[in-house]
Amino acid sequence: MTDTIRLENFWHKLLLSFPGSKDIDGAVVDCYPQVPINAFNHAADVSVEEDEVEDLLNRVTQHFLSKRATHVYFRITPLTRPKSFASFLEEQGFLKESEDLIMVFKGERLKNRLNPKVKVKEISENEIDIFGDLLLTIFEMPIEWSEGIKLLLNNMIQKGGKNYLAYFDGNPVGTCSLFSLNGTGGLFNIGTLKEYRRQGIATTLIAHALFDSISRGDDLHTLQTMKGEKAEQLYKEIGFEIGHTVSWFVKKL
């Protein structure tokens, strides 16, 4: 099995762990309007015949309409079938919103990259408010998303996920999450407050998450970032390489 297949199988199963997700014939969908971004409101793992694309689009659209969503997203990967599906979406009025890089860790352990001034702590369900509020600040999310974000974090912990806080001078300044499935460890929510960046905080968080992923028996470790973002270079310096690229297509309902 290639890394691309493993990574997309990981995404399929990860998506099904979210509230509001559903495996339908030809795709897996997640609709979570409480946090209206593509990661929680899209159809993925599309695999249908050429003559089934219109039916699939109609079923996905109706699903999102039933949830009172304002937009519908599709996640297009090298495994999407048919290959012409992205072109079909554009013909139906979808716009290509962005591209994400699916990156795989190919480096060695990062002990020599740790900042000893950074203390990393795995949070419990009782500390979700601290993690969630910091996440909103780091990624400049609207305060209205707070409850939805914290419900997602709680759901993640209940299903075996880990969430880490980085402390610098006693203050929570960085976040990272880990979710392991079938030997693959996915890192998410990697971020640092603006005023604390360039001090090795994100690197230290990633190193802790990778160590835990390896300890769980994972032999494939991944994260994703938007193509062209500054984070791409940081991840490459740490030891991540680009596995494949995914595209996001969106249409307002």
pLDDT tens digits, residue range 163-194?
999 999 999 999 999 999 999 999 999 999 99
Report yes or no on 253 lying in a domain: no
3-class DSSP state of 13: helix
Q: Clarify whether residues 130 and 165 are in a common domain.
A: yes
Q: Report the pLDDT value the prediction gives residue 115, as an integer from 0 to 100.
A: 86
Spatial CB neighbours of 236, under 8 Å, sequence gap ≥ 6: none
Between CA 185 and CA 165 the distance in angstroms is: 18
Q: Report the pLDDT value the prediction gives residue 52, as an integer from 0 to 100.
A: 98
Q: Would you say 136 and 146 are in contact if contact means Cβ atoms under 8 Å apart? A: yes
The C-alpha angle with vertex 50 and arms to 20 and 94, in degrees rounded to 5, equals 55
Tens digit of pLDDT for each residue in 76-106? Answer: 999 999 999 999 999 999 999 999 999 999 9
Q: Clarify whether residues 13 and 66 are in a common domain.
A: yes
Q: Clarify whether residues 25 and 92 are in a common domain.
A: yes
Q: Clarify whether residues 165 and 223 are in a common domain.
A: yes
Q: Count CA atoms closer than 13 A to 9's CA, side-chain side.
A: 12
Q: Clarify whether residues 131 and 85 are in a common domain.
A: no
Q: Report the pLDDT value the prediction gives residue 20, as an integer from 0 to 100.
A: 83
3-class DSSP state of 134: helix
Report yes or no on 251 lying in a domain: no
Q: Report the pLDDT value the prediction gives residue 110, as an integer from 0 to 100.
A: 77
Q: Report the pLDDT value the prediction gives residue 37, as an integer from 0 to 100.
A: 95
Tens digit of pLDDT for each residue in 137-159? Answer: 999 999 999 999 999 999 999 99
Question: Mean pLDDT across the chain, nearest whole number?
Answer: 95
Q: Report the pLDDT value the prediction gives residue 109, as an integer from 0 to 100.
A: 73
Q: Clarify whether residues 192 and 90 are in a common domain.
A: no
Domain limits at 29? 3-100
* Residue 113 pLDDT > 80: no
Q: What secondary structure letter does DSSP report for 112?
A: G
Q: Clarify whether residues 154 and 44 are in a common domain.
A: no
Q: What secondary structure letter does DSSP report for 123?
A: -
CATH number reported for the structural domain that contains residue 233 in this entry: 3.40.630.30
Q: Clarify whether residues 44 and 134 are in a common domain.
A: no
Report yes or no on 138 lying in a domain: yes
Q: Clarify whether residues 87 and 138 are in a common domain.
A: no
Q: Report the pLDDT value the prediction gives residue 213, as an integer from 0 to 100.
A: 95
Tens digit of pLDDT for each residue in 196-250? Answer: 999 999 999 999 999 999 999 999 999 999 998 889 999 999 999 999 999 999 9
